[in-house]
Amino acid sequence: MSQLACPLCGRYVSLKCFDPSNFESDIYAVNRTGLGRGKGFAVGPRFSVLGDITITAPIAERCRIILGLIEGRKIPSGGETSVLKAEVEIGKGEAMRERRSSEDLTVKRVEQEEQVMFRRKEASSFRREREEYAARLAGFEDEARRWRSVVAGLRAEVERLESELNSGDDDVDDEEEMLAVGEMQMILDRINNSANSDFEYLSDAVDFLLEAG
C-alpha cells in the first residue's frame, strides 16, 4: 500500500509524504485569475476562511464522522443530534430555573438573617433600657428611704420645739424661745430648698414630706 486516500478530501497521497503534523492549522483559500487562453492562471494571496460557516461546517461534520470511525463511536444522525440538542436546551432551562430558585432562597435567607439581627438588637436595647430603669428605680427608692429618715428626724425635732414653746415652763426664757423659733425656720428653709417649694408653716412642709415619702 503506497497510496492513501484522504478520508476528508478523497485525494490520494503517498504514504512516504503523508505527515499530518506538518499541515496548516488554519483553513486557507486563494483566488485564481485566468491569464488568457493557453497562459494558465494567476494565484492570489492566501486568506483564512475560518469565519465562513458554509465552508467550515461541512469540514467539521466530516471530521466528526472520521473521528467516530477511528475511535469506534457511533456518530448520531441529524435527527438524533436535534433530539440531543433539545434535551440539552431543556437541561439548560432546568438548570437556570434551579439557579434562580437557589438565588431566591439565598435572598430570603439573607433577609431572615437580617430580621433576626434586627430583633436581637431590639431585644438588647430593651434589656439595656430595662436595666437602666431598674437602676433609676433603685436610686429613687434609696432617695425615698433617705427622705423618710430625714422627715422622721424633722418631725421629731418639730415636735420637740413645739413642746418647748407650748410647755409654758417659766424656766424657758425669751432667748431660748427665739433659738427654737430660729431652728424651726432653718428646718423650714431646708425643706423649701430641697423640695423647691415655698411653704410658710413648718407643719405644712412636714406634712408634704410625709405624703411624698
pTM of the model: 0.32
d(CA 158, CA 187): 9
Q: Is 201 exposed, middle or buried (0-12, 13-18, 19+ CB in 10 A)?
A: exposed
Cα–Cα distance for residue pair 146/202, rounded to 1 Å: 19
pLDDT score, position 74: 66
Per-domain boundaries in the chain = 3-75, 104-212
pLDDT for the residue numbered 129: 87
**Chain-wide mean pLDDT for the chain?**
78
pLDDT at 104: 86
Looking at residue 81, its amino acid is T
Residue 1: per-residue pLDDT: 61
Question: Which pLDDT belongs to residue 166?
Answer: 66
Question: Given this model, what pLDDT does residue 175 score?
Answer: 63
* Cell (9 digits) for 209: 414630706
Q: Are strands 28-29 and 47-48 parallel, antiparallel or unpaired?
A: antiparallel
Low-confidence ranges of the chain (pLDDT < 50): 172
How confident is the model at residue 136, as a pLDDT? Answer: 81
Yes or no: say if 49 and 43 are a contact pair by the CB < 8 Å rule: no
